[in-house]
Structure 1
Amino acid sequence: MPEVPETPAPALRSSEPHPLDGLTGGAFSAATSGERAARIRDWLAGQPAPEQLQEVFKDLSQRDKGAARLVRERLDEIKRARGQEAIAAEWAAKAEALLAAPKLNIADAMAWQRDAARAGAPLSREPLADFKTRLAERVKVIEDLQHRVQVQREAAVLLAQRIEVLSTKPWSDARDAVDTLRADVQHWQDQAGEIAGDANWGSVDARFAPMLDASRTQLLAVWDAFQSAVAQAQAAATDPAAPLPPVPVWAEALRLARGEPAQAEADKAAPAAKAAPAVDPAVREQARAAVQEALERLEAETAAGHGKASADAAAALRAVLKEHGRHIDTALEHKVNGALVAAGELEGWQRWGADQVRAELVAKAEALLKRPEGQALGGRKMQETLRQLRDMWKQADHGGAPNHALWKRFDEACTEAHKVVEAWLDKIKTEAAEHKAQRVALIDEVKAWGLAHTASLDWKSQYRALQQFAARWREGGHVSEKVFAELQPLWKAALDAAAVPLETAQKSSLERRHAMIAEAVQLGAAPSLRIDAVKALQQRWQAEAQAVPLDRRQEQKLWDAFRKPIDDAFNRKSAEREQSAVALGARDRAVLEAAKALEAANASGDMQRIRAAMAALDAAVRSRDEEQKQAPAQVDTAVTAIDSGAETGAAGNADTQAAASSESADDGAADPAPAEAAAPKPAPRPVVAVRGDDRPGMRREAPAAPGRGGRPGERRDSRDGRDMRGPRGEGRFGGDRFGDRAPREDRGPRLGDTAFRAQRDALEHAQATLRKLAAQAHGEALTQLLAAWEKRDAALVPSVQELGGRVSPAVRGAWVQAVGAAPAGDAAQALLRLEMAAELPTPAEHLDARRALQLHLLTRRNDPAPAQTWGQDAARVLAAASDPGSARRLQGVLKVLLRA
């Protein structure tokens, strides 16, 4: 046979390499995400170009987000670096401008560093680091020059003091010190010239240049006078005819060296002055009157204690004395001198008081600089405080002569504290500019928004957007009154233009809402209230309110006006219904009386009384029309029986109460309603034909149980499960179509609203009270059983009625026998079986034993389950010794099993 060629196996399709694998070192072909991230890190270590990074990120972000994050971080870093480079270039240009300026202001240099740091400029990197260092050095040089000026001023003062001290010593000492002083003065002039010739002298504060010039002028004046006096003293020492120097000490020494008398003896030897010529009496009287008038004014001001006025009066008196003092007598002159002394004392006291006030103000001004950081004053508060301090200083100056030393300290402290105000003002100015720019941008944004939403019909979003614009304008920050007056008209015009479509829609909506309000008034005034028309009108109002929003207050007022006529109509209808309900029938009154009796029984807490009251209420509800007249008498009889039953139950023993409790706890227990209280049921109709029951074990002649009557979806009665409208065909054709269904029980006529609500609430309260009493009885029985086990007293074991329907007499007998006998056996396994029967968790220390028991039970299939033998297991536990742990576990188990 011919050979069949072998079919080659299909080759495995090999994936083509990614175009970027060669660039990234095989990152796209990596098997795992971790390997891909490692290769991307190795590739990033080579500092790839931004274009390559962008290309790799674009493709890698769709494959691996984790690896793409590394590329994105590198792109963000490059972006930040570029942004910082632009900022660095901007601030470098500003620094170059500051350094190139012939005069550098220290505040501008410090502000450059502060503002650059706020703008995020990289001050720690080049070139800004170099500019920062150069500016700092320049500022340091300028501050050093200012400090040297102050040192030179103090040196000039010290040189002048040395020259003045030499004027009090012999002129020979001054002659010997001339050369030393000349060298010192020349050295001072050289240093001053060096300071003034410095390249940064123009950047020094303006107050330092006059300070240096004044010191130079004063020193040179004192030095020239000293040199002239020394030269004159040398000439007078060598030539007796030469004039004496103007220095008193030197002149006196030279006069004694010449042999001339002293100046005091020369004055004594001088001839007496010639007698003054006679004065005209009229002139003398005029001078006396002028001085007397000025004197009286001074005395009055001094007595009043007016410091400033007394100083003015004293000055006026001195002026009068200069003119007329030589013409007054001695008595008036003494009186004038006394008044001037008194005025001087008052002026001194005023000056002292003013100095005390000034010292206090200086202390306050200096304390502003020493406040801790947490208590530092803000800009506005500091400005107000400084203004108050300066006003108080002016008031102190009005009361006395100025004190320049205190004023210097006060002014320096206020100037230093004012730096805080200056920084705050700069901040306010910057923020005001930013706020103005934001408001202008907001106006432009509103204009653009208005043009973009001219044709939009989404009024809700437009109203919300306009409200947000208004809120942003209110929160736009503080601007000056002038700027606000300029921007406010522009803002109102832009907002009004943007709100024109919305306002038009709101106007139309208002007209429609007023029409709906008028329609609501008509509906409310109609004799019969049309519910369908009211619902339709309310739906129209809701649709209109959701479509076009209005101001909240206006919309609330319109809604109140729309709702009022409808609410009035419903209130009128409710009032009519209540009026009709007031006239209760005999049956409704009987139901109300029975409900009140049941509420009273609920309050008593007697279970038998509550059940009797429930039966009486059920009898009153089921009473028929012909029995309505006898219903009040039946209710009274039931109430009397309830009261007598309550008294009998209260006088009875506790077993009867516990039995009633156990009956309420048992779900299968029947209500002990009296037979005579229930309405008689109608006789069932005779069975004409039956359908045989062909189920296994059923008799053929027995009729089948009735099925669910009615059509699917029909409502059944909540008590008997039958259709409230009767079997199929009943009422439609006048009777049962087949005759195989029981007739519907007639429950009597419909109750009124008040009676129905009263009986419903009373029944709900009664059922809740019965459940509560049953739980209490169950808890008491369980507690009594545990006490009997602990005391080993069989007489304390509760009865079968107290324990409930879950415990049979045989089980109770086993419990009584176990409790009465001596403790024997181990209850561990029995407790585990009880917990398994009750499906309760086992304590952690017994979990291993429970698992072992469960495995053992799986091997014993024919043994009864723990849920079937829990009575015997409880007897085993009661036969063992009692301990707190076992008692707690047994209580939890029986609490579930006795109520299951």
Structure 2
Amino acid sequence: MFGFSNPKTAPATPSEKPAVTTPKSNEPHPLDALTGGAFSAHTAGERAQRIRDWLVTNPSYEQMHEVFQELNGRDRGAAKPLREKLDELKRTKGAEIIAAEWARKATALLALPKLNMADAMAWQRDAAKAGAPLSKEPLAALKVQLADRVKGIEDLQHRVQVQREAAVLLAQRIEVLSTKPWRDAQAALEVLGADVKHWQDQATELASDTNWTSVDGKYPTMLDSSRGQLLVVWDAFQAALALTVAADADAAAPLPPVNVWADELRVARGVPLEAAKSDRPAKQAKAPVDPALREAANKAVQEALTKVEQEVAEGHGKASAGAAAALRNALKEHNRLVDDKLGNAAQAALAAAGELEGWQRWRADQLREELLIKAEGLLKRPDGHALGGRKMQDTLRQMREQWKQTDQGGVPNHALWKRFDDACNEAYKVVEAWLDKVKTDAVAHKAQRLALIEEVKAWAAENVTAKDGDWKGFSRILHQFGDRWRDAGHLGEKAFAEMQPLWKEAIGLAAAPLENLQKASVDRRHAMIEEAKVLGAAPVLRIDAVKALQQRWQAEAQSVPMDRKFEQKLWDAFRKPLDDAFNRKTEEREKSAAALSDRDRMVLEAAKALDAANASGDAQKIRAAMAGLEAALRGQALAQAAVNADKAEAVAQSAVQAESQAAAPVTEVSEENPAPAQAESAPEATETVANAEPAAEAAPVEPPKPVRKPVVAMRGDDRPGMKKAEPVQAGRGGKFGDRKDGPRTPRPGDNKFEPRRDERGPRDGGRDGGRDAGRWGDRPAFEDRGPRLGDAAFRAQRDALENAQHALKKLAAQAHGEVLTDLLTAWEKRDVAQLPSVQALGHGVNPATRSAWSQSISAPAKADDKAAGEALLRLEIAAEAPTPAELVSARRMLQLQLLTKRNDPSPAQTWAQDTAKVLASPFDAGNARRMQTVLKVLLKR
């Protein structure tokens, strides 16, 4: 808040007079009236509004600047619009200055009588880089004028080329007419003259164009040359045609110089054609020229021409200009002596050199400006980070080389070179700082490497061998020395070449003990490789020897460290012969396993037959095929058992013969208790066999199998989960486990003083006694199931059996569904014929039950909903099936009633009778669904 308002005056005392104490008044600010009362405003918002209103009146720049100076120190918020306005005026003024400068340049270019195409085309690009407002006047108009001027010049040059081609075509038309009859040429004379006149008018129009002075110098020369050649040909054609017309009118007139027309006139005068050709005037021979002079002139022009063509091909504008000048001088000097072909080639080369010179000058300036922008931007990168020393050095070197190449191909530009050189020198300061740092670091790195060499030498003197035999630690330290050498910093090529031999000598001295040990280890490993080759080549592979050799290799590898790659090569050479031997053994095993035995072949055939039966979907075929597969498996086992029995019988007979010869008593084997008799006769038989003939010694002695008595009567095991066909296992009886059949025989191991099972002898039932003694002697021996099946046969029979069981389950489910459907259909239609048979209904339904169901279906339906509903509830309780929600209460009530009737049969026992009651009732769709749910469970029990 500024104190622009009048302060309150102190109240006057009664003794004072008002006239004497007049209040002190402040004069208004000098700029208050100018700004519309901005300085006398009471609030900042009011003051800012008055400033904005004053700015609408467009005050002058000086007034705004003065007001801003006064107001900015008191109220910056109110001075903000003034600041923005002044900044805008400054920008506008700066843009106007730049626009005026580039407008002046454009006006100067347009005022030139000969406009430089390169400068005119570069004006717009340079003005845009300088920030000139090209979209505003007057630069917009000047830009259009320059573009139109450049376009007019380019169009004028193009029209000159078109005129040159038109002149060539007109000359060709004239030459073609000179080869046709003269009357055709006379008929086309008027049209041809009009075309020539039109061409001359167009050429004159081109020369009178305002931009004609601005075209390249080669185009006026081109147009004048075309005009001269066309007029020469046209004048000669007119003169020859006039002579032809005169000779046709007067036979004494001379013939024209055109051979075709002259021959035509001779024929018209009656002169034979052969005589006419002989009367042709011979061509005037040129004056003889000294061959030496002609050769010297051609050589001088050819050398100058070759130089021009070479410079033009390489694009050197500056060099090509000098070569073109030398070629022009050579042509001026030897023009009359040079061949026409060589002269035409020289003119074409001069034209190409002229085009290259103009283009090269403009292109060279473009390349220089691009290099200048790059040089000035080396220290002003967008990311704010300057290039590193090495990168900066390479960049500056490349840019200077590019500038030199540009100067070789065009005229030098000294102003641009000065700016480019200053920018490069400024950027080179970064390179100088980097070079100083590199030198300092090189001295430090050299000292660090020398210290490392001395450290390695001292360590080598102290560690002639590994401490505690730890050669791995010895090798690890050497690797650490190598890592430190590699990380010791950068050195120059010369310094590194001096340091490297010293380092190799020191590290070689330190690694000498390890290298000697490695050399001896390599010799030992080569010896083990030879041993491995011998073991691998042996006909029988010794696994124990291979394991021992591998353990020796591992011990050697763990004790002596070596280079990983070299050690891997040795290991590969060591394991190769062993791997080959194991692979050979594996191949032999696979070959033997691949050969199918008779048993495998029979099992495979039975498995294929079972697969075919599974595919047929016939349960009887599947069961028959399963029986065939089981028979194939059992048949081979029985055959093997028969062979073993024959062997045992032969051994027994030989033993009997031996005993009879020895006149020793033989104890008969009792059928009631075969094991003791066999156990008692075993030693005697063994002794007898030992004294028998050599043929008996060769045969293996196998005791005959004990023949088990057929079971006459036994008690079936009717416990849940047990099979009734198997006898009940003897269990403990009595309250405290006293056996009813007598006291329990103490088992081995119950007495701690009794030897263990594996410590007892043959008579005690130990391992050596087998299954013929002690408590374990009561058990029968394992049945010999014959040789083991091959992998292919085993997998085939297993998969076939699994698929058969799955197919039978699927067929049973389908059959069960069909049975239920037929049963419900018979109920619905009251047709006994559709009721399934006893076999189809399953083992849970006997003939009496089916007869009751058939009577219920055949009898007329009884509308007893209560009995049928209760029967359905009993069936759902028996099957443990869910009950509809509306009947849940009735089911609970029925269950309570059943609990009170303990002696009545349960629903699970009377489900057949309940089913008969439901079938006797009328058919109902809801009851049918409930019946299907419960019978699906009950029929499977």
Taking structure 2 as the reference length, the TM-score comes to 0.36
Which is greater in Rg? 2
TM-score normalised by structure 1 residue count: 0.38
